[in-house]
C-alpha cells in the first residue's frame, strides 16, 4: 500500500479534480498496489485545499472508497490481499524489472552500496 499525501488547492477547473483520481488510478496500476490518496483540507491564508481522500485497487480500475464531500473526511475500505497477487500476475512489473540496467543511475550520487558488494 502506498500513501500519497499531497497539498493540492481547490481548482477552478472541474477537470483538475478528475485528474487527481486519474493519477491515483495510474499509480495503483503501474505499481500493482493499493493507493491511498490523501489531500490536505481546509483554508490557510488565501488558499483553500479540497481534501478528497480516495482508495484505489491494485489494478487501478476500481475506487474502493472516496470522500463524498470536500474537506476533512475519514474513509474505510476492505483490502483483498489475493487481489495483489492477481495484479502481479496480470502486470508482472516486479518480475520483469531490470535493476542491472538502472542501478548505476541509482547509485551514481551518494555512498549507498550496490547489491552484491560488501
pLDDT digits (tens, 9 = 90+) for 68-106: 877 788 899 999 999 988 888 888 877 888 888 888 777
Residue 5 to residues 20, 75, 107, 113, Cα–Cα distance (Å): 12, 15, 27, 29
pTM greater than 0.85 (yes/no)? no
Query: In terms of DSSP bridges, do strands 2-6 and 35-39 run parallel, antiparallel, or are they unpaired?
Result: parallel
Check which CATH number belongs to the domain holding 22 and give it.
Answer: 3.60.110.10
Q: Which three cell numbers stand for residue 31?
A: 505499481
Domain span at 22: 2-106
> Within a domain: residue 19?
yes
Does residue 31 fall inside a structural domain?
Answer: yes
Number of domains in the chain: 1
Q: Across-strand partners of 47? A: 44
User: Residue 107: is its pLDDT beyond 80?
Assistant: no
pLDDT in tens, 41-62: 888 888 888 788 899 999 877 8
Instruction: Work out the pLDDT band at 3, boundaries 50, 70, 90.
Output: very high
Residue 68 lies inside a defined structural domain of this protein: yes
Residue 7 within a domain: yes
Q: How far apart are CA 20 and CA 50, in angstroms?
A: 11
48 part of a folded domain: yes
Amino acid at each position: 500500500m502506498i500513501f500519497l499525501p499531497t497539498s493540492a488547492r481547490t481548482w477552478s477547473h472541474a477537470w483538475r479534480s478528475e485528474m487527481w483520481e486519474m493519477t491515483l488510478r495510474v499509480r495503483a496500476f503501474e505499481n500493482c498496489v493499493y493507493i491511498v490518496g490523501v489531500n490536505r483540507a481546509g483554508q490557510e491564508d488565501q488558499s483553500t485545499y479540497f481534501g478528497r481522500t480516495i482508495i484505489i485497487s491494485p489494478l487501478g480500475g476500481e475506487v474502493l472508497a472516496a470522500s463524498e464531500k470536500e474537506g476533512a473526511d475519514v474513509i474505510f475500505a476492505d483490502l483483498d490481499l489475493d487481489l495483489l497477487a492477481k495484479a502481479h500476475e496480470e502486470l508482472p512489473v516486479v518480475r520483469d524489472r531490470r535493476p542491472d540496467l538502472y542501478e548505476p543511475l541509482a547509485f551514481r550520487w551518494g555512498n549507498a552500496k550496490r547489491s552484491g558488494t560488501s
